[in-house]
A and B are shown apart, each in its own frame.
Chain A
Amino acid sequence: MIGNKEIDKHNTLASTRVLDLTDEKGFLCGKILGDLGADVIKIEKPGGDAARHIGPFYHDIPDPEKSLYWWAFNTSKRGITLNIETRDGQEIFKRLAKNKNVVIVESFPPGHMARLGLDYTELSKTNPGLIMASITPFGQSGPYKDYKASDITINAMSGFMYTCGDADRAPLRFSIEQTYPHAGLHAAMASIFARYYYQLTGEGQYIDVSMRDCLILGFIPSVAYTTGVNVQRPGPFVIRYLRKRNVFQCKDGYVSTHIQLGRLVDKTIHLVDWMHEGRMDKGLKELDWTKYENTNTSQEQIDQWDEIIGEFFLTHTKDEIAEGSLGRDIMLFPVNNAKDLLENKQLMERNFWEYVEHPELNTTIIYPGKPFKSTKDRWRISRRAPLIGEHNKEIYIDELGFTNGELVKLKQGGVI
């Protein structure tokens, strides 16, 4: 069942096999389960997933074996090619799906798996313990189920985008796709919940994940429902009772903090003390901060303070501000980019980064590490993302018992 992967008897997921039919919408689901120890098989169409064409690429070489996007989200998976549009492909997939302890995750348009005879109803007839998760933009049924969608349109329809960006310009999405990992994470979590239930009862079930619903961040609809007012785009500010700047320019970049009043006013006092040391507090040190609350302070007052604080930050670098705020108990973080993350002291101290070997390129590449640590830790990147069809022989010959000759026929028939 586990193939050539090292068996960890103490890993609860080690006996679970995941059949991963997803495109970019769902890659993270299989990665999470794989990094946690499940035996994940990424099933691609012959020639490889279309998502292998998503950049960026290793050394800018646009090759399906060199997509960094694909690598990033397909670690700890083995890979086979299989054309499930063919009868032979469907037969093979059904054989893989009828074992115990199987989770299928897919992200085809609603109805696609049913047309191939591979939907949950069909597959669970021979395997009532089967767990299957589908990831689609809007869910399996309903008036928008067949809507064409991409990351930006899903963001738009979630209500989140309307609240992001500057008031005088268009609503914004993140410049890195976020709907995909949200969907993958929720699919992984729901699958883990379903597995828990399966372990107790032997019953499998079907999970329907809507990508758009993942991005409906509760605060936005809740405020509209309670107040009748829509949360607006504040630019680099946060707005609760008052509009407070949350992103400030500094000497060599940006930092993030906003003025705290009331319960947490001591954090503001600590910042003002620091400004006072550099004689840049412009009288803020003299104020009795304890009398200011969010409810009794004017917007003009906040704007004025924000300006004075902004002038102080402009005289310091990101690193100076980050380190200075730590010792002084101030709520403040630098606006990091990828380079800053790699140089971040805290992440190094916690051994966050993973060094993953890419033997075919004779190189080791640094990847993000554990999303949580535990005293019974089982998380690890057990292998880099698979090459196209890398484990065909392992799965088709060693496990399913096909002969070399049959494999050649399947290859010529466009099945694998």
Chain B
Amino acid sequence: MKQALSGVKIADFTWVAAGSFVTRILADCGATVVKIESSSRPDPLRSEYPYAENIPGINRSATFATYNPNKYGIALNLNTSKGQDIARRLVKWADIVTENFSPGTMERWNLAYSDLVKSKPDIIMLSTNMQGSTGTYAKQPGFGNMLQALTGFTALLGWPDRGPVGTQLAYTDYIAPYYAAIAIVLALEHRQRFGEGQYIDQSQLEAGISFLSSPVLNYTVNKVIDGAMGNRCYYAAPHGAYRCQGNDRWCAIAIFTDEEWESLCKITGSRALTENRFATLLKRKQNEDELDRLIEQWTINHRAEDVVEILQSSGIAAGLVETGEDLHRDPQLKHRKHFWFMEHPEIGLVSSSAPPFRMTKTPPRPRLPAPCLGEHTKFVCTEFLQMSETEFTELEKEGVFR
């Protein structure tokens, strides 16, 4: 089947999520990605929770497997000059080089952009770092679940009467990589038209701020600092997640119009809700704590699924607060074939989310489960680099492919 990026070749030095997501989306859309690791420096995601059957192992992390399908994997000792030679041959083979080490790491291996352009002037290279490759804070280490704080996200998630909590995920890793993928594909097109390569320097902090443009303008224009306000919304009430029957089951409800409000009152049958103090949006905003309490008095007696169904049938925006398990049961996701199930040699069946878009002519699709460490070393060397069997065996003996 045709894919949008078929034929595009990537020498992929990235690791952890912020890097892996860039090359994953390109691979999902047809690019040939060779992920370069080594056994002395495997992708840290390989030891990320959870392991299949809770048994540790370099090839057993479900998180690594979920984040890295459709890539080939080779093991290469970059601390040897022969390892670096192979890396340069991979660069020669590739259209694109990607990396997200802390600034300076590629230089140590003689694989910086300034080294690579010498032998391949039209190479396209992406470096994506927490705070970019330049500036005082470029080398400060960290993970995305801390970077979300620097970017401004953490302060915007929490209850106003308690401190902010942020998410437990590396939230910016779900933003920056897609800008990076845009940069790469535009660079490819630029190269086709004008014959030039380029170096792309992404700061995940800067990319993340684009999602907070409205609070930025609220400050630069009005000097207003937006903060976390629970689940509330200035122009809707009720607006929140309400506890339903069962163990930690919730339904999100959002009421924007008088019509929706009247429908909700009718459905709940609650006399208290029809009182004048809830009659308009402004009144509901004024008495919102009490309003939320009354709504929950109704939802708590019903299954969350039933609340969603009855509200949706009256044209009210309501949604089940789904758990990871719920997602795998969700009929809409089944309809969209959202989860890709791939048989992994050591883990067994791995579930991985498809990209959130469908393309009619060139659909993203699952081709390969995530690679075991060094799984395709020989294949990549002999097929992509045209290495002879003899040369491969010799290098292998010397310990280059570790």
Shortest beta-carbon distance, A125 to chain B, in Å? 15
Q: Is B335 an interface residue (CB 8 A)?
A: yes
List the A residue with the shortest CB-CB distance to B21.
Answer: A218
Shortest beta-carbon distance, A248 to chain B, in Å? 9
Q: Is B246 an interface residue (CB 8 A)?
A: no
Q: Contact at B217–A209, with CB atoms within 8 Å?
A: no
Given the contacts A220-B327, A339-B225, A207 and B357 also touching, CB distance less than 8 Å = yes
Shortest beta-carbon distance, B92 to chain A, in Å? 20
Given the contacts A221-B353, A226-B52, A375-B199, A208 and B358 also touching, CB distance less than 8 Å = yes
Chain A residues whose C-beta falls within 8 Å of the C-beta of B241 in the assembled complex: 152, 156, 161, 170-172
14 CB contacts below 8 A, A to B, read A148-B316, A149-B317, A159-B324, A159-B327, A161-B321, A176-B211, A186-B356, A199-B192, A216-B356, A349-B135, A349-B136, A368-B209, A372-B128, A372-B201
Chain B residues whose C-beta falls within 8 Å of the C-beta of A12 in the assembled complex: 186, 189-190, 193
Q: Mark B317-332, 1 if CB is under 8 A from A, else 0.
A: 1111111111110111
Chain B residues 9 to 68 lying within 8 A of chain A, measured CB to CB, are 25, 29, 44, 47-50, 52, 54, 62-63, 66-67
Chain B residues whose C-beta falls within 8 Å of the C-beta of A263 in the assembled complex: 44, 47
Shortest beta-carbon distance, B309 to chain A, in Å? 10
Report how many residues on chain B are interfacial, defined by Cβ distance under 8 Å. Answer: 154
Q: Contact at A374–B199, with CB atoms within 8 Å?
A: yes
Q: Mark B223-263, 1 if CB is under 8 A from A, else 0.
A: 01111111111111001111100000011111010000000
Q: Mark A216-242, 1 if CB is under 8 A from B, else 0.
A: 111111111111101100111111110
Q: Is A292 an interface residue (CB 8 A)?
A: no
Q: Contact at A227–B155, with CB atoms within 8 Å?
A: no
Q: Is B205 an interface residue (CB 8 A)?
A: yes
Give CA–CA (A197, B248) in the complex, Å. Answer: 46
Please give 12 more A-B residue pairs, beta carbons under 8 A apart, in addition to A238-B168, A247-B149, A367-B213: A153-B317, A188-B182, A203-B361, A213-B333, A217-B174, A223-B324, A224-B328, A227-B50, A230-B325, A347-B206, A350-B203, A371-B179
Q: Is B377 an interface residue (CB 8 A)?
A: no
Shortest beta-carbon distance, A408 to chain B, in Å? 35
Chain B residues whose C-beta falls within 8 Å of the C-beta of A192 in the assembled complex: 181-182, 185-186
Give CA–CA (A186, B174) in the complex, Å. Answer: 11
Q: Is A72 an interface residue (CB 8 A)?
A: yes
CB < 8 Å: which of B215, B321, B362 contacts A162?
B321
Chain A residues whose C-beta falls within 8 Å of the C-beta of B250 in the assembled complex: 156, 162, 170-171
Q: Contact at A335–B154, with CB atoms within 8 Å?
A: yes
Q: Is B4 an interface residue (CB 8 A)?
A: yes
Shortest beta-carbon distance, B122 to chain A, in Å? 11
Give CA–CA (A255, B243) in the complex, Å. Answer: 31
Shortest beta-carbon distance, B22 to chain A, in Å? 11
Give CA–CA (A348, B155) in the complex, Å. Answer: 21
Q: Is B221 an interface residue (CB 8 A)?
A: yes
Shortest beta-carbon distance, A59 to chain B, in Å? 7
CB < 8 Å: which of B155, B199, B200, B353 contacts A337?
B155
Shortest beta-carbon distance, B16 to chain A, in Å? 12
Q: Contact at B240–A159, with CB atoms within 8 Å?
A: no
CB < 8 Å: which of A59, A68, A142, A376 contacts B335?
A142
Chain A residues whose C-beta falls within 8 Å of the C-beta of B362 in the assembled complex: 193-194, 197, 205
Chain A residues 55 to 81 lying within 8 A of chain B, measured CB to CB, are 55-56, 58-60, 68-69, 71-73
Give CA–CA (A148, B313) in the complex, Å. Answer: 9
Q: Is A254 an interface residue (CB 8 A)?
A: yes
Given the contacts A152-B240, A226-B52, A263-B44, A193 and B332 also touching, CB distance less than 8 Å = no
List the A residue with the shortest CB-CB distance to B315.
Answer: A148
Q: Contact at A257–B359, with CB atoms within 8 Å?
A: no
Q: Mark B390-402, 1 if CB is under 8 A from A, else 0.
A: 0000000000000
Give CA–CA (A235, B168) in the complex, Å. Answer: 8
Interface 9-mer from B73-81, B156-164, B266-274, B381-389: B156-164
CB < 8 Å: which of A216, A326, A366 contacts B327?
A216
Q: Contact at B179–A58, with CB atoms within 8 Å?
A: no
CB < 8 Å: which of B44, B152, B205, B338 contacts A338?
B152
Q: Contact at A347–B201, with CB atoms within 8 Å?
A: no
CB < 8 Å: which of A151, A220, A347 contacts B324?
A220
Give CA–CA (A279, B103) in the complex, Å. Answer: 33
Q: Is A178 an interface residue (CB 8 A)?
A: yes
Name the residue among A12, A194, A223, A239 with the largest chain B CB count within 10 angstroms.
A12
Q: Contact at B199–A230, with CB atoms within 8 Å?
A: no
